[in-house]
Amino acid sequence: MIQNVFVIGATGKVGSAAVKQILDKDVDPVKHDNPTRIAGVASSESYLFSPNGLGRQECLDFAEKKAGSNSGGRQYGDLLELLQVVSKAGIGVVFVDATALHDLKFHKAVSQAKGLGMVTANKLPLVDCSFAEFEELTHSPSSYGYRCSVMAGAESVSLLQDLRDVSDPIHSLSGCFSGTLGFICTQLSKERKLSEIVVEAKEKGYTEPHPRDDLNGMDVSRKLLILARTAGFNVSMGDVALSPFIPEKYFGEEDPRAFADSLKELDEEFLQRIRQAKESGLVLRYVAQLNVAGGKPSLSVSLKEVPKDGPLGSLNGTSNKITVISGAYPANSPYVVEAPGAGLEVTAQNIRRDLLAQLQGRKIL
């Protein structure tokens, strides 16, 4: 059986990488007994859709925006309009959300429709909602995949889904979920200045367009919330005790350059903190933590001194890591996953792994 896929955000970094990988690797009916076919692609302005599948070249041209500013497609209003177009065609389709839209309505509508599925790299709909809505969206892994919302799709979401399903109680979870802040922490350990490291991270493309959006800890908090909810805890953003990487007073500066410049005021303080930590065999890491006591979860995100040779202290550069302690995995032998926390090819591949999970009658040839 063919799997029809509609990539939303196909002109973006992740979406276009996913389009190319699917075309290069998943459309071969000899290799794949049930191949994936691209039936639709959309950008912010336009879309292409064919119930019989789009041609390889038109997908590539669209993803690379070769056909002019409207990418050669039809104009559309919002994602619910696209959903109507697909529903009218009467075929099964899995949508891939590779945007950064706050579009919970679209996710809800897809998850409630018969024969449609969702694979999302976009974490925002999963945190913009109540726990009940989250449960409604995600209760069926065979039609809603969101592994790429955390650790670029490495085993964190799927691990917690499985532990929950086999009734293995989570005692704690700790992790470093920001490649950008991992890079900054590793560089700080070399006794470099924070302000210079932030400029370098931005130049290397590791930060968001405004580095404030990494340093405020919101992205890490969202990932922790998704994992806690996946583990079955009824929590919301307000339950995360968030300490930003740097004091909030710096976040008012709208110009990224002036923002990086203002961080010079913090250089000496960070150097002192790093040196003091070193004397005790510690390093700084931006840690997301879920602790469960008496069945009640507590969530925190903060900059911490951790043992240099410990699971999080030994992390290097942009890598992410999660350590889970549960009934079956006690503190002396936790379940640990370390993997790149970002990267277009890795994320695109993990989108395809979520697509595999929605294949009916999947066969490995």
Ligand X SMILES: NC(=O)c1ccc[n+]([C@@H]2O[C@H](COP(=O)([O-])OP(=O)(O)OC[C@H]3O[C@@H](n4cnc5c(N)ncnc54)[C@H](OP(=O)(O)O)[C@@H]3O)[C@@H](O)[C@H]2O)c1
User: Which residues have a catalytic role annotated?
Assistant: 223
What angle separates helix 131-138 from helix 104-112, to the nearest 10 degrees? 50
Q: Which residue, judged by CB position, is nearest to ligand X in the bound state?
A: 12
Q: How far is the CB of 207 from ligand X (least distance, A)?
A: 12
Q: 98 vs 274, which CB is nearer to ligand X?
A: 98
Q: How far is the CB of 363 from ligand X (least distance, A)?
A: 28
**Both structure tokens of 85:** 């177009």
Using the Cα atoms of residue 69, residue 72, residue 74 and residue 80 in order, give the sign of their dihedral.
negative
**Both structure tokens of 75:** 């104009």
Q: How far is the CB of 301 from ligand X (least distance, A)?
A: 17
Cβ pair 137, 157 in contact under 8 A: no
Q: 178 vs 326, which CB is nearer to ligand X?
A: 178
Q: 56 vs 102, which CB is nearer to ligand X?
A: 102
Site residues for ligand X per CB under 6 A: 8-15, 42-45, 98-101, 121-122, 148, 152, 342-344, 347
Cβ pair 315, 306 in contact under 8 A: no
Q: 14 vs 228, which CB is nearer to ligand X?
A: 14
Q: DSSP state, 299? A: E
- The DSSP line for 27-62 is --TTTBSS-EEEEEEE-SSEEEE-TT---HHHHHHH
Cβ pair 230, 236 in contact under 8 A: no
Q: 2 vs 237, which CB is nearer to ligand X?
A: 237
Q: How far is the CB of 74 from ligand X (least distance, A)?
A: 13
Q: How far is CA 306 from CA 77, 185, 203, 294, 311, in A?
A: 49, 12, 28, 25, 9
As a three-state string, the secondary structure of 254-289 is CCHHHHHHHCHHHHHHHHHHHHHHHHCCEEEEEEEE
